[in-house]
């Protein structure tokens, strides 16, 4: 017969706590996240409220795996069990989960409904917006903060740096130092991102000096970041000197040096540093493979990849991208197929970057039909990079009309073209002699798609007009719009002819409108740009005189 004490409220409470503990353990040991979250439905009808710590762990798993559906189910469970306004602890985890899954609207709703916010809540919001590139919203939260710590400032510096707003990043860094809020190694690593992005050697040296003064050079993350900044600026001597002075060198520091030498084209030094590494990981192998591939050394890249596989290092998407690039360089269909088969057999689903590289490889190896199949089967049709790779493949194989059709399909799919798209389509028109179409695409870049032409686009335009026989040579004094000519334009120009005088080109340019039969103001505006790109800026008046003689009038809205 059971003791009367077993039915006391105290024993009931103990049994209830024991039950919750068992439930919590079973949830955390569930075979999958979905199984764990789905079982929450059984508890709220029985009035069982799980510990906040267990729910927070589930939300952390949802954030890490970007499991939006499961995260929403946890949030629903909170509402059904009386957490209509979750505690600050749980609300912070909800905000993190929603931002990780890209749902900034729900994250903001949770934040706005919080009864009590701590510093972590505010920093969580800033970090979430920064990761999504929403700097205006991040700044709004930052300005409203009742108090800030160095994490708040560091996050804003990183956000501005990664989004290309370098002036604001440096201003925030200067303000952080002026206010003496305190900073850590991450503060210097944050501003060094700006140095890397800007490739500003002098700024890198200044930050290096500040690091020395405050004694943070022993921080391996900071010293590795300075090495990376020097390497990105092409100052490998300074990078190597600092690397040799580092008391502790981890794998990322070694890998940074390998990547730096590879970026400068010094593959011999890159290979030497790689061989000296006491330990190597997948990133180290990939850095060397990518260096060989980017420097046109396809055979060496594949040789290193074979060694990587022998050492049982696990290749990632960047490894495969570099290997497919190497196969394309040496036009090795055999190796390309082997790599592709490896992905399929190991059930590795390639991302868009790798799929684009596979398409490029098959087209460079002369198997365009296989490239089309890869595009149709594996593609994320909302990714502009994938469309660009297919348009580029068609252009490379000389199918200009099909490339234009592909671009039209892309536009109908609602995908916005970028600069790379127009480089590919202009090349397609150039290789297929589609002058009219190429000029129309060039004119539509800014007016219809908001893409400003750069050096590479003008180089494509020079080739397009040259292949059509519109002129015989270009002058040596190239000036592309309001910036100096790059090597793309100069190479295209010098390939046409190096011997004829520029005055002869001027006569040829005057014939453009007649030869191409372009009877519109926009066409003459385009040719004015070409004229500036090919001859001295002072001769632009001649084109304007031709326009006046042809009785065309400039629309006031056009400049």
> Does residue 522 have a pLDDT over 70?
no
Which of 52-66, 91-105, 270-284 comes out lowest in average pLDDT? 52-66
What are 253's two structure tokens? 């520091």
Kindly state the average pLDDT of the residues 126-148. 95
pLDDT at residue number 188? 86
More confidently predicted of 67 and 505: 67
pLDDT score of 28: 56
CB 374 within 8 A of CB 350: no
pLDDT band at 541 (very low <50, low <70, confident <90, very high): low
Q: What is the mean pLDDT of residues 314-321?
A: 94
63-67, 295-299, 320-324: least confidently modelled range = 63-67
How far apart, in Å, are the Cα atoms of 351 and each of 65, 317, 424? Answer: 16, 7, 21
What pLDDT is attached to residue 316?
Answer: 92
Question: Nearest CA to 327 among 366, 294, 365, 374?
Answer: 365
Note the pLDDT tens digit of each residue in 467-502. Answer: 766 654 333 333 333 344 444 444 444 443 333 334
Q: Is the pLDDT of residue 307 over 90?
A: yes
Instruction: Average the pLDDT over each of 138-152, 390-404, 497-511 and give the range with the smallest value.
Output: 497-511
What pLDDT, on the 0 to 100 scale, is given for residue 369?
Answer: 95
Q: Are 359 and 375 in contact (CB under 8 A)?
A: yes
pLDDT tens digits, 358-406 = 999 999 999 999 999 999 987 567 889 999 999 999 999 999 999 999 9
pLDDT of residue 528: 54
State the average pLDDT over residues 338-350. 92
Give the residue-averaged pLDDT of 41-45: 64
Distance from C-alpha of 363 to C-alpha of 402, rounded to nearest angstrom: 14
- Across 53-78, b (16+ Cβ under 10 Å) vs e yields ebbbbbbebbbeeebbebbbbbbebb
Which pTM does this prediction carry? 0.71
Question: CB of 187 within 8 A of CB of 154?
Answer: yes
């Amino acid at each position: 017969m059971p003791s009367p004490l077993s039915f006391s409220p105290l024993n009931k409470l103990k049994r209830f706590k024991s039950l919750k503990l068992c439930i919590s353990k079973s949830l955390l040991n569930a075979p999958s996240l979905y199984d764990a979250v789905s079982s929450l439905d059984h508890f709220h009808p029985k009035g069982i409220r799980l510990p906040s710590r267990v729910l927070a762990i589930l939300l952390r798993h949802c954030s890490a795996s970007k499991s939006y559906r499961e995260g929403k189910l946890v949030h629903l469970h909170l509402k059904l069990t009386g957490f209509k306004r979750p505690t600050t602890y749980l609300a912070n985890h909800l905000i993190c989960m929603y931002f990780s899954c890209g749902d900034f609207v729900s994250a903001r709703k949770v934040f706005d409904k919080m009864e009590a916010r701590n510093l972590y809540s505010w920093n969580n919001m800033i970090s979430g917006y920064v990761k999504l590139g929403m700097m205006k919203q991040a700044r709004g939260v930052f300005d409203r903060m009742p108090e800030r710590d160095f994490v708040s400032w560091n996050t804003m510096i990183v956000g501005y740096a990664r989004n290309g707003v370098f002036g604001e990043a440096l201003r925030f860094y200067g303000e952080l130092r002026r206010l003496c809020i305190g900073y850590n190694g991450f503060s210097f690593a944050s501003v060094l991102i700006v140095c890397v992005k800007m490739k500003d050697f002098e700024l890198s040296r200044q930050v290096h000096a500040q690091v020395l003064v405050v004694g943070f050079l022993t921080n391996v993350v900071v010293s590795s970041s300075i090495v990376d900044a020097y390497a990105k600026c092409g100052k490998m001597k300074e990078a190597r000197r600092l690397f040799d002075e580092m008391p502790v060198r981890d794998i990322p520091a070694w890998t940074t040096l390998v990547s730096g030498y590879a970026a400068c084209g010094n593959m011999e030094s890159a290979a030497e540093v790689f061989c000296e590494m006491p330990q190597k990981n997948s990133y180290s192998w990939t850095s060397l493979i990518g260096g060989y591939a980017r420097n046109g050394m396809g055979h060496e890249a594949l040789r290193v990849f074979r060694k990587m596989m022998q050492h049982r290092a696990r290749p990632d998407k960047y490894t495969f991208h570099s290997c497919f690039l190497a196969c394309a360089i040496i036009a090795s269909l055999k190796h390309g197929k082997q790599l592709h088969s490896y992905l399929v057999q190991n059930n590795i689903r390639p991302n868009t970057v790798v799929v684009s590289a596979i398409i490029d490889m098959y087209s460079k190896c002369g198997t365009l039909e296989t490239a089309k199949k890869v595009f149709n089967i594996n593609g994320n049709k909302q990714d502009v990079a994938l469309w660009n790779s297919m348009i580029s493949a068609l252009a490379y194989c000389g199918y200009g009309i099909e490339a234009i059709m592909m671009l039209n399909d892309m536009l109908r799919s609602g995908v916005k073209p970028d600069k790379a798209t127009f480089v590919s389509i202009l090349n397609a028109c150039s290789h297929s002699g589609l002058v009219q179409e190429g000029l129309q695409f060039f004119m539509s870049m800014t007016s219809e798609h908001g893409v400003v032409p750069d050096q590479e686009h003008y180089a494509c335009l020079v080739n397009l007009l040259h292949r059509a026989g519109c002129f015989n040579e270009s002058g040596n004094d190239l000036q592309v719009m309001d910036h100096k000519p790059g090597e793309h334009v100069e190479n295209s120009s010098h390939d046409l002819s190096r011997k004829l005088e520029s005055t002869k080109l001027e006569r040829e340019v005057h014939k453009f409108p007649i030869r191409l039969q372009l009877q519109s103001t926009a066409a003459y505006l385009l040719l004015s740009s070409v004229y500036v790109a090919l001859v001295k800026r002072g001769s632009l008046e001649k084109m304007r005189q031709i326009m006046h003689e042809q009785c065309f009038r400039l629309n006031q809205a056009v400049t």
